[in-house]
Structure 1
Amino acid sequence: MTTLPEPSGLPLPQPTGQHSVRLADGVRLHVESYGPRRAPITVVFLHGWTLDRRIWHRQITALTRQAGGPRVVAYDARGHGRSSATHRLAATLPQLGDDLAAVLAHVEGPVVLVGHSLGGMTIMEYAAAHAAAFAARVRGVVMVSTTAEGHTHTGYGLPHPLSRIVRVLELSGSYVMARCGDVRPHRPLMAAIRPAIRWLMFGERCDNDDLQLTCAAVAGSSLRSIGGFRESAGTQQRLETLRGLPHLPSAVLVGEQDRITPLPCAQGIADALGGDAGLHVCADAGHMLMLERPTEVTAAVAGVLAAAGSRRLRRAA
């Protein structure tokens, strides 16, 4: 496991339990849990590309402070945070879907899945490859700043000709990084790219602590992971998978200024999920909604939890 620096000034919640899930290829996932083990439902948080479980700290704190609240599980994807390195050929979205299935094998009872960016794409892969398990276990989904259409709508907030050039450069760079092994970004590199992270990931306003946490998470991701997952994430097409899901309580959130997964991405997901999906557009916000708009994200999760609980009671009646 990797030891990560904790940003100063952030009240990161303390887990009630920690364990690792060993996968078939030897990778170990770092998993943390919060709240009562016997809660009627568990919320599972999945972070985005180059990030880690700590980005959900405000949602975890809010949910676990509620009397009679859910159990909460958050984990670091392979090659991210405190999980061990991934093999280059295993840096794919289908593998992340299988990894989620392995984590859920250690979680009791029904679940609500909450995914940001790559985490939302992971949920789609799990649904595609483990359809029966998804139908049996999942009681609701929350999709935050994510897409089901690869890089179809990604323009980086730039004019179209320039965005195409940036994409070619990005893909070329990711190909090189994917072959750099388990090396983590060095401190001078992080200092140099901090302004780019600020511009690309956040909207109009950005709290310095949130930027520091985001940069710390990026620094904890291996170059192999940063580069390796890019190709798979860019080519994913899962709208049909979403259309085929059972109707569940769901919410889709997007920042008005999201330069990575802009509004058309969220609209496509909401339309595919159908009438039960609520689309929430957060004004002046970027890609990091759980940090930029924590109240709105927490409210969306709580709303899906409440709807899932009502359905459970109706079935039991």
Structure 2
Amino acid sequence: MDWRRLGTYAAVTAGTAVAVGATAAAARVATDRRRSRRRARRGDAMEFGTLHVPGVTVLATDGVPLHVEVEEPEDADAYARPTIVFCHGWVLDLDCWHYQRAALRGQARMVFWDQREHGSSGDGTPESCTLDQLGDDLKSVIDAVAPDGPLVLVGHSMGAMTVMSFAAQYGDLVRDRVDSVVLMGTSAGDLIGRRDPAALLQPWLPRFGLLVGAARRLDSYPVTRAVAVGPDSPAKYADMTDEMIARARTRALWDFAANFVDLDLYDALPALPGTRTVVMGGTKDRLTPFRHSRRLAELIVGSELVAFEGAGHMMMLERHEDVTAAIDNLWSSAPTSAHRREEVGA
């Protein structure tokens, strides 16, 4: 993860937040206008952020309300195939799966949810914002809206870490019900060196949260464009990412930061369905460099590694057709529920 770049940004934005003072409101208005103009220029066939269905609230084991949306298929036969569960990353929300949701809508049963402290889900305590708890949150979501039948689990960045944490805690469930897994733009460990500035600054991150959060909301686009997507990616993908980051809660930024300093999910990897696991990475990913994807694929025996040349961290947007095709291929090639029950001896 390019924490030096982000550390510099944090220092600059913290100073900026102090300086803006009385001009903050005017600057925010100007920023909102710029974002509106960028949205208008995109000309989305389906406007980003509009693909929603009425949500349900699932209570996590510690009582935090989790926002969940379920897309039902039009063909009854699709219910025999896996439910696809999508897990988004840090300071994003369920809208990051815009293109996959649009393409597979009506075909597959799909579950989209906001992680705690993200999107429309509730806040936990800082102490509850751990990868162990996120894996447990995923279990709560599955128990509530997909309690039986096969599953395809799709995770991006921290969402993929959520999937790995879930596998570490609920190996029997993974073995019995998870047909396939997609892990994109993620890592199982060694993400931040012990001498990296982020590790040294971590104890003080919450103190800067309010200041950095204020500056981030003034105009995060330049940093989003530089860090989140590949250098040659169309600007609209940075726009979409920026919209999610701009509306993210500052506490999510800081409450989850410590997880990346001591990240170690290697013990979870044997629980994943090796030959039915696809690992994806962007060769220009500045947040979780491609070497982490390569390492995951080496450790998950039989898995497939997909390299998106020139893509950055937001590959589900930047390479959405390829990502959707890979998910669709896993889903459509999975055995039906009846065949799955025979395989696991149910």
TM-score, structure 1 as length reference: 0.83
Moved more, 302-311 or 44-53: 302-311
- Aligned: 1:259 with 2:259: no
- SS at 2:202 equivalent: helix
Q: What is the deviation of 1:194?
A: 2.0
Q: What is the deviation of 1:173?
A: 5.6
Contact 2:150 2:337 in 1 (8 A): no
Q: Which residue of 2 aligns with 1:86?
A: 124
- Aligned: 1:96 with 2:127: no
Q: Which residue of 2 aligns with 1:171?
A: 202
Is there any run of 5+ residues in structure 2 with no aligned partner, and where? 1-34
Q: Which residue of 1 aligns with 2:296?
A: 269
- SS at 1:235 equivalent: coil
Q: What does residue range 3-42 of structure 1 map to in structure 2 within 5 Å?
A: 9-10=43-44, 11=46, 12=48, 14-36=51-73, 39-40=79-80, 41-42=82-83
- SS at 2:144 equivalent: coil
Contact 1:16 1:34 in 2 (8 A): yes
Contact 2:180 2:273 in 1 (8 A): no
Taking only aligned residues, the RMSD between alpha carbons, in angstroms, comes to: 2.9
- Per-residue deviation, residues 96-122 of structure 1 (Å, max 9, x unmatched): 001000000023321100000000000
Distance (whole Å) between structure 1 residues aligned to residue 272 and residue 314 of structure 2: 26
- Per-residue deviation, residues 136-163 of structure 1 (Å, max 9, x unmatched): 2211100010111141489xxxxxx9xx
Letter of the structure 1 residue corresponding to residue 156 of structure 2? H
- Aligned: 1:301 with 2:327: yes
- SS at 1:81 equivalent: coil
Q: What is the deviation of 1:215?
A: 1.7
Q: What does residue range 44-83 of structure 1 map to in structure 2 within 5 Å?
A: 44-65=85-106, 69-83=107-121
Distance (whole Å) between structure 2 residues aligned to residue 224 and residue 16 of structure 1: 27
- SS at 1:309 equivalent: coil
Q: What is the deviation of 1:247?
A: 3.6
Aligned sequence identity (%): 32
| Equivalent residue for 2:177, pick from 134, 137, 152 | 137
- Per-residue deviation, residues 73-100 of structure 1 (Å, max 9, x unmatched): 1111000111112211111111100100
Letter of the structure 1 residue corresponding to residue 90 of structure 2? W
Distance (whole Å) between structure 1 residues aligned to residue 190 and residue 109 of structure 2: 31
The alpha-carbon distance between structure 1 residues 19 and 263, as it changes in their structure 2 partners (threshold 3 A), is same
Based on CA coordinates, which of the two structures has the bigger radius of gyration?
2
Contact 2:51 2:98 in 1 (8 A): no
Q: What does residue range 146-165 of structure 1 map to in structure 2 within 5 Å?
A: 146-152=186-192, 164-165=196-197
Distance (whole Å) between structure 2 residues aligned to residue 177 and residue 168 of structure 1: 15
Q: What does residue range 156-305 of structure 1 map to in structure 2 within 5 Å?
A: 164-165=196-197, 167-168=198-199, 171=202, 174-176=205-207, 185-186=213-214, 189-275=216-302, 277-305=303-331
Q: Which residue of 2 aligns with 1:157?
A: none
Distance (whole Å) between structure 2 residues aligned to residue 63 and residue 245 of structure 1: 24
Q: Which residue of 2 aligns with 1:110?
A: 150
Distance (whole Å) between structure 2 residues aligned to residue 292 and residue 24 of structure 1: 35
Distance (whole Å) between structure 2 residues aligned to residue 220 and residue 250 of structure 1: 32
Higher helix share: 2
Q: What is the deviation of 1:58?
A: 0.1
Contact 1:93 1:233 in 2 (8 A): no
Letter of the structure 1 residue corresponding to residue 230 of structure 2? G
Q: What is the deviation of 1:245?
A: 3.4
- SS at 2:281 equivalent: strand
Letter of the structure 2 residue corresponding to residue 171 of structure 1? Q
- Per-residue deviation, residues 274-293 of structure 1 (Å, max 9, x unmatched): 11x11011111100001111
The alpha-carbon distance between structure 1 residues 78 and 216, as it changes in their structure 2 partners (threshold 3 A), is same
Distance (whole Å) between structure 1 residues aligned to residue 178 and residue 294 of structure 2: 22
Is there any run of 5+ residues in structure 1 with no aligned partner, and where? 155-160
Distance (whole Å) between structure 2 residues aligned to residue 206 and residue 246 of structure 1: 32
- SS at 2:55 equivalent: strand
Moved more, 50-59 or 191-200: 191-200
Distance (whole Å) between structure 1 residues aligned to residue 288 and residue 193 of structure 2: 7
